[in-house]
C-alpha cells in the first residue's frame, strides 16, 4: 500500500516539477536518515532524526510545527513528534502530502534477528526522502496553492498479528 502511494507521489511530483525533481537529492535525504540507525521511538536515532527532519523542513518551509505527543501502549510510554510543514499557510484550498518517518522496533518478518529494530530504508526513510525533495523544490519554485507536508511519527509501532 505504501509503495502505491509513493508511486503516486512520484508521478505527481514529476508532473508538478518536471525535470526539477532531483532523485539524487532525494536519495541523499534517504541515506541521511538511515545513517542515524534505527529510528524507532525511544532510540537515539529517533531523537537525532527528528531534529534533522525539523531542521531540514525549516530550511524549506516558512511554517513548521513540531507536534509533540505521548502515547501509552504495548506496556510502554512513547514520546512522539509529528513534523508539520505548511506552504502558503493562508491559502484555503490545500493538498496534504504525508509519510511516516519512524521505523519498526522489531523485524517481525525477518528470518533472523526478529527482535532487533529495522534499518528502515524503504519502510520509513524513502517516503520522507521524496517529501523532503518536494519541499526543497517548493522552496525554489513557490506553488500557487497551499501544501501541507506531514511527517508522521509512531505509525510503524505496534504488534504484528498473524
Ligand atoms: Zn511503514
Q: Give 103 Cα–ligand 1 centroid separation in angstroms.
A: 7
Q: Give 137 Cα–ligand 1 centroid separation in angstroms.
A: 25
pLDDT of 19 higher than 60: no
Q: pTM of the full predicted structure?
A: 0.87
Q: Give 124 Cα–ligand 1 centroid separation in angstroms.
A: 6
Q: pLDDT tens across 1-16, in order?
A: 555 555 556 556 555 6
Q: Where are the domains positioned within the chain?
A: 2-152
Q: Which CATH class is domain 2-152?
A: alpha beta
Question: What integer pLDDT is reported at residue 131 of this predicted model?
Answer: 98
Q: pLDDT tens across 150-159, in order?
A: 999 999 998 7
Q: pLDDT tens across 22-39, in order?
A: 999 999 999 999 999 999
Helix (H), strand (E), coil (C) string for the chain? CHHHHHHHHHHHHHHHHHHHCCHHHHHHHHHHHHCCCCCCCCCHHHHHHHHHHHHHHHHHCCEEEEEEEEEEECCEEEEEEEEEEEECCCCCCEEEEEEECCCCCCCCCCCCCCCCCCCCHHHHHHHHHHHHHHHHHHHHCCCCCEEEEEEECCCCCCCCCC
Amino acid at each position: 500500500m505504501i509503495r502505491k502511494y509513493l508511486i503516486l507521489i512520484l508521478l505527481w511530483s514529476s508532473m508538478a516539477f518536471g525535470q526539477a525533481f532531483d532523485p539524487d537529492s532525494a536519495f541523499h535525504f534517504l541515506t541521511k536518515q538511515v545513517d542515524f540507525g534505527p529510528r524507532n521511538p525511544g532510540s537515539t536515532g529517533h531523537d537525532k532524526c527528528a531534529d534533522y527532519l525539523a531542521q531540514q523542513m525549516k530550511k524549506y518551509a516558512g511554517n513548521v510545527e513540531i507536534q509533540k505527543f505521548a502515547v501509552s501502549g504495548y506496556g510502554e510510554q512513547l514520546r512522539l513528534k509529528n513534523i508539520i510543514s505548511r506552504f502558503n499557510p493562508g491559502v484555503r484550498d490545500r493538498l496534504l502530502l504525508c509519510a511516516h518517518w519512524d521505523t519498526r522496533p522489531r523485524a517481525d518478518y525477518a528470518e533472523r534477528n526478529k527482535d532487533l529494530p529495522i534499518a528502515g530504508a524503504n519502510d520509513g526513510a524513502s517516503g520522507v526522502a521524496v517529501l523532503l525533495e518536494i519541499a526543497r523544490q517548493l522552496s525554489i519554485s513557490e506553488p500557487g496553492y497551499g501544501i501541507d507536508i506531514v511527517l508522521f511519527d509512531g505509525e510503524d509501532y505496534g504488534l504484528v498479528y498473524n
